[in-house]
Structure 1
Amino acid sequence: MTIREALKWASSFLKERNLEQPVAEWLLRHYYQANRAKLFMILDEAIELELVTRFEKDLERHAQGEPVQHIIGYEEFYGRRFIVNKHVLIPRPETEELVVAVTELKQKLFQKEKIKLVDVGTGSGAISITLALEDETLDVLAVDISAEALDVAKRNAKELEAQVTFKHGDLLTPLLEESVQVEAVVSNPPYIPLSDAPGLAVHVRDHEPHLALFGGEDGLDLYRRFMEQLPHVLKEQSLVAFEVGVGQAEVVRKMLVSTFPHATTEIKVDINGKERMVFAYGDMRS
């Protein structure tokens, strides 16, 4: 069997089960440690029997609900490889857009000034590590309530040689306890309503940490708690950047307006035209 034939068979296997067909390509690229171009160059080479067996087993694991990222052990984010497992949310492409928006707003508000930024609910460290590597003027802190998630984030920071300070705790509590103030707060908090749980894909519901997925009955619990803590942590001129669920943007923006009446608030759409990012910046006096 050639790699091309294995790919064709696997695509049919996945299609029959209404699963994403690119999973087959991701697995093969992982086995051969090849980018897409390199894989396509060797499509007509024979695939070893041992790899065929592994391929079949991994596809069956995925068909049973295991995310392909857990099978291969990583996900690509902003052109870098991040270790992921059951303790952290798998980074999504939409969150890359949050990183882009934060770097642009930082430049607009602070230019080359060095500022302190905290990523709350860092998970794998995708946001905090990427920001630290992309903008050397950022002094990055990262907080998570899960000690297991922090272990993963620390491993990723070490692998990617990123300078990030990690703190264990609930939302902004570690900063409040140490009387630390920052110029920027970034977060992709849990925002899925509990009522949506039955409708989630099994790969998400049964394999990603519920602590990182669900934000209470309406999905907004964490944003409400942020509004209580943010005024005590932010400096007078600051930036807040949130990722939100579909349909939540205007509600979260109004929370920020109520908390910071002098600030500029803004909603940005993602590449799919959905309102997934909310910002407040400028004069953050409450």
Structure 2
Amino acid sequence: MNKMTDMTIREALQWASSFLQEHGRESRVAVLLLEHYTGLEGSGLFLEDDRKLSLEEKESFIKAVRTHAETGEPYQHITGRAPFYGRYFRVTPDVLIPRQETEELMDLIRKNTGHGDRIADIGTGSGVLAVTLALETEADVLATDISKEALGIARENAASLGADVRFYEGSFLEPLEKEHIDILVSNPPYIAWEEKEELDETVKKYDPALALFAENDGLLAYETLCKELKARNDTPRFVAFEIGHTQGGAVRRMLQDALPTYTVEVIKDLNGRDRIVTARV
């Protein structure tokens, strides 16, 4: 393949799709990688499928396809970007790659946000929630993370997308102890360490453990957040946590204990699994 002088977009997609399938990878990654290296996205790629790739495009694309196929390295790490809610965000091995389910959390927060609300995103990672909320709502957005490296990526994403977000380094709600918060959102680590061996090899090898795993059957982050909420004099009017699909009952009980006057609800995702727990006044 490397010896071919010319390669059209159509030929590149045909080769890459076949090569990826032979290695047990998803063929759709061929399109995503080619979009990145050609700068053509969506229908634009297929409208120009007879265009010849430049030498640089071809070599970069072939290398990326081989790397993903042979090692399992996520295409998001290879390209350094990942889509979320219609925008591309910079990602590195220091942050969790955004998941589709988190867009459902974003939808929920957006629907419950009013003009002038202050939103706190706890454990922001690459900043996808905080940045998107700042761009999609008229809220004042704050975000925390314990990882200095993750905050660096989040700040880059906010700057490149023109989002006004205030970032704080620290554990959970501690950096915001004196800040008024109307809405609290968090997608914390929620996988139990005991479940590590059951995960896909790619997840174990390439996603940051700090963003994936938590003690106490994966519930430690929720326990900590609920404890901190209970201790606050000024509690948010709306709280939303993304959860693992088996954790709905446990997290609901924690929020009911921390905020006994609130209405607590477990919400299912598009696949019918428990995915979000909310508490509202």
| TM-score of the two chains, using structure 1 as the length reference | 0.91
After superposition, the Cα gap between the structure-2 partners of 1:264 and 1:217, relative to the gap in structure 1 and judged at 3 Å, is: closer
Structure 1 window deviating more from structure 2 (89-98 vs 226-235): it is: 226-235
Deviation at 1:48, TM superposition (A): 3.5
Determine if the alignment matches structure 1 residue 190 to structure 2 residue 198: no
In 2: Cα distance, 1:159 partner to 1:76 partner: 14
In 1: Cα distance, 2:56 partner to 2:261 partner: 63
Task: Report if aligned partners of 1:182, 1:234 keep a CA contact under 8 Å in 2.
Answer: no
Determine if the alignment matches structure 1 residue 12 to structure 2 residue 14: no
- 2:4 is aligned to none
1:182 counterpart SS class: coil
- 2:135 is aligned to 133
Task: Report if aligned partners of 2:118, 2:182 keep a CA contact under 8 Å in 1.
Answer: yes
Structure 1 window deviating more from structure 2 (226-235 vs 25-34): it is: 226-235
In 2: Cα distance, 1:231 partner to 1:134 partner: 30
Task: Report if aligned partners of 2:74, 2:202 keep a CA contact under 8 Å in 1.
Answer: yes
Residue ranges of structure 2 left out of the alignment (5+ in a row)? 1-6
1:155 counterpart SS class: helix
In 1: Cα distance, 2:175 partner to 2:231 partner: 12
Determine if the alignment matches structure 1 residue 205 to structure 2 residue 212: no
Amino acid at match of 1:126: V
- 2:78 is aligned to 71
In 2: Cα distance, 1:236 partner to 1:224 partner: 16
Residue ranges of structure 1 left out of the alignment (5+ in a row)? none
CA RMSD in angstroms comes to 1.5
Amino acid at match of 1:77: F
| TM-score of the two chains, using structure 2 as the length reference | 0.93
Determine if the alignment matches structure 1 residue 253 to structure 2 residue 237: no
Deviation at 1:32, TM superposition (A): 1.0
Q: How does 1:92-107 map to 2 (within 5 A)?
A: 92-106=99-113
2:217 counterpart SS class: coil
In 2: Cα distance, 1:233 partner to 1:182 partner: 10
After superposition, the Cα gap between the structure-2 partners of 1:281 and 1:81, relative to the gap in structure 1 and judged at 3 Å, is: same
1:247 counterpart SS class: coil
Structure 1 window deviating more from structure 2 (76-85 vs 141-150): it is: 76-85
In 1: Cα distance, 2:129 partner to 2:192 partner: 23
1:206 counterpart SS class: helix
Task: Report if aligned partners of 1:120, 1:186 keep a CA contact under 8 Å in 2.
Answer: yes
Deviation at 1:49, TM superposition (A): 4.2
Amino acid at match of 2:51: E
In 2: Cα distance, 1:236 partner to 1:192 partner: 27
- 1:166 is aligned to 167
Structure 1 window deviating more from structure 2 (49-58 vs 214-223): it is: 49-58
